[in-house]
Structure 1
Amino acid sequence: MLGQRLEIRQGQGLVVTPQLQQAIKLLQLSNLELEAFVEQELERNPLLAREDAEGEAEPVAETPDRELSLDDAGAEEAAGAMDARADDLYGEASPGERVSDRADETAQPGLADWSAVGRGGAAPEDLDGDRPDRRELTLWEHLQAQASSARLSTADHAIALALIDQVDEGGYLRGELAEVADRLGCGLDRVEAVLAVCHGFEPTGIMARSVPECLKLQLIERNRFDPAMAALVENLELLARRDLAGLRKVCGVDAEDLTDMIAELKALTPRPGAGFGGEPAQTLIPDVHVRPDPAGGWRVELNTDTLPRVLVDKRYHAVVAGAARSDTEKAFVADCAAQANWLVKSLDQRAKTILKVASEIVRQQDAFLAFGVEFLRPLNLKTVADAIGMHESTVSRVTSNKYVATPRGVFELKFFFTAAIQSSDGGATHSAEAVRHRIKSMIEAEAAGADVLSDDRIVELLKEAGIDIARRTVAKYREALRIPSSVERKRMLKTA
């Protein structure tokens, strides 16, 4: 039997207000994007003004369309409601703090309330309608993606990212390998080994240190780097002078062969990175600074130079509040006041949230800062989120496009998240790099007379040492270390 009736139901739900969407958007913006956003708000909202060094609003030219005041009761009431909501959304943190002093600090709720959007309902990524359109990857993003899929160890991946940062628009590596090794606290031979892996990235010839090396990599890929071509590549200055007789002599070929070789050389790409348009190179400005603290530990501080300084122009609002007569004018004044208060508070709490997350990451990775890349700890978003009382999605937004300047260089906050290998006895996890080093040591011992270890035997020995790892993972690590299979190693030992 069909019928109509009224029912009252009570339930809980998260209302994603425009202000909440703005808070989420601000959190994930880089410092350059944030500056552009604030510029737009300054143009749109007449109540906002830049803050000068003394903490006062910069003087604004008197114009007929700019007349407002925060002393108006209606504006204060509307803004107060948004302020109360903002207090619920964010946690507090000091502008600069010592990590060692806050290790036992009680976790604060922080952004956990609004960051819970990621747990259900609309996906956080779908909340921002103003996200930029899809674009092609830049050269550096293209290389970083290949580095992430190259089966490198945690430490080697960190080295690869440091090398990629040294690549110019043409695709050439301009940094000194010795400087990278010194900064990351590892050996020069290891940096050279990682660079050799990077030379296998696309486009061919990328990350070469000179034009001859770039051409050499492309010729090797085409299987055309024979002794004659090697001599030609090593004597490009003769080619530039059109000294064909000299080239025929050093290459040991006749005129016809030399003509073919030069044609092959001209078919190569001397600037492999030029095919990537992407964005113009911009100076990397860190959001956070990490310095040794004289009292011990590390001092984590926001880079105040990157923080937009805006405030609500109360004097200006006072001029217009009394002049507003119609309901439309009063509503406009109240809306501008509410939006201005919200933006000022959101910017302040965004800075505190970044500092909070960065401080916890530094506390977790203090061994890397002190001793080098070999000491990167296994770390994931959940570990940091649980430690500071935030949701993983919040930590993910904070660590995107945010950079920290450390004594070992400038890194994106996401750099510090590394894979972990579980312990078979329920104890502490092991870093992937430490496990790879152990596997390498086991196999190197074979040359000293020990039996050749199969992948299954390596799994057994690692489990006896408290490391829970699958056979396919051992095989993957062994291949990443460029170590042959046990069958091939047995054959090599017999031949030796």
Structure 2
Amino acid sequence: MALNARLEIRQGQGLVVTPQLQQAIKLLQLSNVELEAFVEAELERNPLLQRDDPEPAETAEAPEAPAASSDELEFSDTSTAKADEAMDAEGDDRFADDPCAGGPPLTDWSRAGSGKATDLDDDAYDRALRRELTLSEHLTLQASQAGFTAAEAGIAQVLIDGLDEGGYLRLDFDETAERLGCSPELIETVLLKCQGFEPCGVFARSVGECLAIQLKDRNRLDPAMQALIDNLELLARRDLSALKRVCGVDDEDLRDMIAELKALTPRPGAAFGGEPAQTVIPDVHVRADPLGGWRVELNSDTLPRLLVDRRYHAQVQAGSRSDADKVFVADCLSQAAWLVKSLDQRAKTILKVASEIVRQQDAFLAFGVEFLRPLNLKTVADAIGMHESTVSRVTSNKYISTPRGVFELKFFFTAAIASADGGAAHSAEAVRHRIKQMVEGEGRDGDVLSDDRIVELLKEAGIDIARRTVAKYREALRIPSSVERKRMLKAG
């Protein structure tokens, strides 16, 4: 069989993920602190970029300002449908949405002469992917597995956000309860559960309480040790005689007790990896509208405003002599125009997503944490005509200021259980709370509910749930099986 070489021309379609598209996606998921750092770097690299001063130069081209509220902003989905379909088919949604689409590429970056200057500074982004979990992330993961109800889960997240870098809780309970619309007793109940999280000693409100939590975990919190913790000021003054009297111990016992205290960790959160704590600056503000409903506005303080200096571009372009100089100047112009457009589109996308979340969770804003509704990324994405991956990126590291406090946008997403009668879905946390109430009521009538019986009772209440899900929720709540509970009732 002879082998022949021949030249063929074929036409086909393919999806090209340009550097611009990759950078636009990364811009969307940056926090406002990371975005500011990126913008500062671009201002240093690109001579055609300027900050938008209150009185910009007449020859400069400023981006159109994003609207202040959801009522004033016309939203338009600029995603590339073919790109979504192609990426979904490949099973990879990393580049499924192009927040900056809507026109042809500003330049062909594959042949740009200054590619390094156009790349997003990935160092901070890559470090974030490689670093250890922060204390907040570690505790949030534990809270998600603690079997909290929807209300308790929300309170737990507020408590986590109220920790300092040492792991101490710096919140006023009465003020927090009023803000969340719940009782201080409920916050105290959630706090006691959170004080069982690792590292041991977190969520304490004082050094004494921190040490007591650790001693209790070691089963060493006896009356003498409690007396020592209650009189730490005597220990600080080295008044050992007074300590022996209040603790009722001799010299040897006191030395052993002090040695035990020294083996504890007074700042349990400080040993955790992560970045220094930073003040949370909300990306979005929510205020009650005098005419009813809620007014959603972008925080203008977190929005970098840039413009392209057209006059300087004309001067530099006129003075360019070599082809390399002209390519460089043209590339700087395209980068500047792209960044201005991308920042504007990023702001509109954040506002669009935040407005839908507020619409879905208006009951929480009006009545408190116990009225959080089941919500997922798909519900929001379908409502606003965007891809789930875009909504996920928008809600990462973005915060919203509400009358009930500042929350991360992901705070408002809770799992759902389908309704047996086709009505509104139930949150998973609410179902777990109902199971817990059923089990707590068993001792009153002497009957112990099996998992199958719990499934039947839930279906009668309009909650469609599988037996294995009931078993999973029961185990998450640390509730023994029905057989074990029967034995406990007989023994008790």
On whether the aligned pair clears a TM of 0.5, the verdict is yes
1:148 aligns with 2:144: yes
Who is 2:253 aligned against?
257
Displacement, 1:263?
Answer: 1.0
d(CA) in 2 for partners of 1:402, 1:164: 17
Query: What is residue 64 of structure 1 aligned with on the other side?
Result: none
| SS of equivalent residue, structure 1 residue 301 | strand
Residues 321-400 of structure 1 aligned to structure 2 (within 5 Å): 321-400=317-396
Contact preservation (8 Å) 2:169, 2:204: yes
CA contact (8 A) 1:204 1:217 kept: yes
Contact 1:110 1:353 in 2 (8 A): no
Partner of 2:126: 132
Question: For the structure 1 residues 137 and 444, does the alpha-carbon distance in structure 2 shift closer, same or farther, using more than 3 Å as the test?
Answer: closer
Deviation at 1:283, TM superposition (A): 1.4
Q: Which residue in the other structure is 1:228 paired with?
A: 224
SS of equivalent residue, structure 2 residue 400: strand
The one-letter amino acid paired with 2:207 is V
Q: Quote how far apart the aligned CAs of 1:115 are.
A: 5.9
Give 1:485 shift. Answer: 4.5
In structure 1, the residue matched to 2:42 is: 41
Q: Alignment partner of 1:274: what SS? A: coil
* 2:54 corresponds to 1:53: yes
Contact 1:374 1:433 in 2 (8 A): no
CA RMSD of aligned residues (A): 2.9
CA distance in 1: counterparts of 2:214 and 2:25, whole angstroms:
45
Q: Is the 8 A contact 2:38 2:121 kept in 1?
A: no
Q: How many angstroms does 1:462 deviate by? A: 0.9
Aligned residues: 462
Deviations 1:268-298 (A, max 9, x none): 1111122125322211111111111112211
1:429 paired residue among 412, 425, 430: 425
Q: Per the alignment, do residues 70 and 123 of structure 1 end up closer, same or farther by CA in structure 2, a change over 3 Å counting?
A: farther
1:184 paired to 2:213: no
- For residues 53 and 122 of structure 1, do their structure 2 counterparts lie closer, same or farther at Cα, with a shift above 3 Å needed? farther
Contact kept in structure 2, 1:232 and 1:251, CA below 8 Å: yes
Query: TM-score when scaled to structure 1?
Result: 0.85
Q: Secondary structure of the equivalent of 2:406?
A: strand
| Corresponding position: 1:457 with 2:457 | no
Q: Residues 451 and 151 from structure 1, CA distance in 2 versus in 1: closer, same or farther, beyond 3 angstroms?
A: closer
Farther-moved stretch of structure 1 (390-399 vs 176-185): 176-185
Contact 1:286 1:303 in 2 (8 A): yes
Q: Which residue is 2:88 aligned to?
A: 119
Q: For 1:93 and 1:308, how far apart are their aligned partners in 2?
A: 12
Matched residue type, 2:131 = R
Measured at CA, do residues 466 and 450 of structure 1 come closer, stay the same or move farther in structure 2, by a change above 3 Å? Answer: farther
* Cα 1:478/1:363, change in 2 over 3 Å: same
**Structure 1 residues 345-397: Cα deviation after superposition (integer angstroms, max 9, x where no partner):** 11111100111111111111111111111111111111111111111111111
1:62-101 aligned within 5 A: 94-98=67-71
> Hey, what's the Cα distance between the residues in 1 that align with 2:29 and 2:273?
24
Instruction: In structure 2, give the amino acid aligned to 1:359.
Output: S
SS at match of 2:307: strand
Q: What is the letter of the counterpart of residue 79 of structure 2? A: L
Please name the residue that 2:100 is paired with.
Answer: none
Contact 2:21 2:95 in 1 (8 A): no
Alpha carbons of structure 1 residues 223 and 57: separation in structure 2 relative to 1, 3 Å: farther
The AA in structure 1 aligned to 2:233 is: E
Q: Residue type of the partner of 1:119?
A: D
Go from structure 1 to structure 2 and tell me whether the alpha carbon gap of 1:319 and 1:108 turns closer, same or farther (over 3 Å shift): closer
Report the CA distance between 1:218 and its aligned residue.
0.9
* Paired position in structure 1 for 2:20: 19
Q: 1:255 to 1:179 in 2, by over 3 A?
A: same
- Partner residue of 2:302? 306
With 238-247 and 482-491 compared, the bigger mean Cα shift is at: 482-491
List gaps (5 residues or longer) in structure 1.
Answer: 59-68, 72-82, 84-91
Please name the residue that 1:295 is paired with: 291
**Per-residue CA distance 1:156-209 (angstroms, 9 max, x = gap):** 221111001111111111112222222222222221111111111111111111
Matched with 1:76 is: none
Q: CA deviation at 1:495?
A: 6.8
Structure 2 gap segments, 5+ residues each: 97-119
Matches within 5 A, 1:203-282: 203-282=199-278
Q: 1:217 to 1:445 in 2, by over 3 A?
A: closer
Q: Report the equivalent of 1:62.
A: none
Matched residues, percent identical?
Answer: 72
User: What aligned pairs does 1:3-18 form with structure 2 within 5 A after superposition?
Assistant: 3-4=3-4, 5-18=6-19
How big is the shift at 1:406? 0.6
Residues 46-86 of structure 1: CA deviation (Å, up to 9, x unaligned): 111111123x149xxxxxxxxxx999xxxxxxxxxxx9xxx
- The letter of the residue matching 1:111 is S
For the 8 Å contact 2:149–2:433, the answer to whether it is kept is no
Inter-partner Cα distance in structure 1 for 2:410 and 2:362: 15
What residue identity is the alignment partner of 2:378?
K
Q: 1:430-470 deviations in whole A, cap 9, x for unaligned?
A: 11233233334434444553733222211111122221212
* Range with bigger deviation, 140-149 or 390-399: 140-149
C-alpha separation in 2, matches of 1:430 and 1:121: 33
2: CA distance, partners of 1:300 / 1:310: 23
C-alpha deviation, 1:112, in angstroms: 4.9
- One-letter amino acid matched to 1:149: Q
SS at match of 1:171: coil
Structure 2: distance between partners of 1:94 and 1:193: 42
Aligned residues of 1:115 and 1:390 also touching (Cα < 8 A): no
SS of 1:390's equivalent in the other structure is coil
Using a 3 Å threshold, how does the CA distance of structure 1 residues 2 and 94 change in structure 2: closer, same or farther?
farther
Once residues 191 and 278 of structure 1 are traced to their aligned partners in structure 2, the CA distance between those partners, rounded to angstroms, is 27
Distance (Å, rounded) in 2 between the aligned partners of 1:96 and 1:198: 37
